[in-house]
Amino acid sequence: MPTPTKRESTARRWGKLSEFNYYVTGLPLKVIAKRVGRSTRTVSDWIRSKQPVSQWAVAFMRLDHLEYNLMLDQMGARQVSTITKANAKPTEIRPRPAANDDEFVFPNWRQTSLYEQMTIS
């Protein structure tokens, strides 16, 4: 079996930064560092491309992501969120009415039945 060249052996050692960033997007730096078992400085250097990302770190985050999605599927959480989104009413966005529009005119509080009850007694 031929021995791998230096380029091939280093390519196997380091993971893809884009893949690592995909799995850690939205997670705080401290959480990533705790999951991977490295310092926040090391993880920060990986994200900012100051050091290459270890292949095992990318594989670990990939497996963590897959395990999380599998857990959601087993609990049925995805079905619930899909049903909830399907039944949700779309949010109505209306323009703000002008200050002199009828929506801003308050009813005369003296015409309410509460005012009439207060004055009668």
Q: Is residue 76 part of a domain?
A: yes
Over residues 51-89, the pLDDT tens digits come to 999 999 999 999 998 998 888 888 877 776 666 666 777
Q: Which two tokens stand for residue 44?
A: 């920060």
- Quickly state the pLDDT bin for 29 (edges 50, 70, 90): very high
Q: Please give the model's pTM, rounded to 2 decimal places.
A: 0.56
User: Nearest 10 degrees: CA dihedral of 78, 80, 81, 82?
Assistant: 80
Domain of 48: which CATH number? 1.10.260
pLDDT for the residue 62: 93
Domain count for the chain: 1
Q: Is residue 30 part of a domain?
A: yes
Q: Is residue 95 part of a domain?
A: no
Q: Is residue 114 part of a domain?
A: no
Q: Is residue 10 part of a domain?
A: yes
Q: Is residue 101 part of a domain?
A: no
Q: Is residue 105 part of a domain?
A: no
Contact residues for 39 (Cβ-Cβ < 8 A; gap 6+): 33
Domain that holds residue 34: 1-82
Q: Is residue 112 part of a domain?
A: no
pLDDT for the residue 13: 82
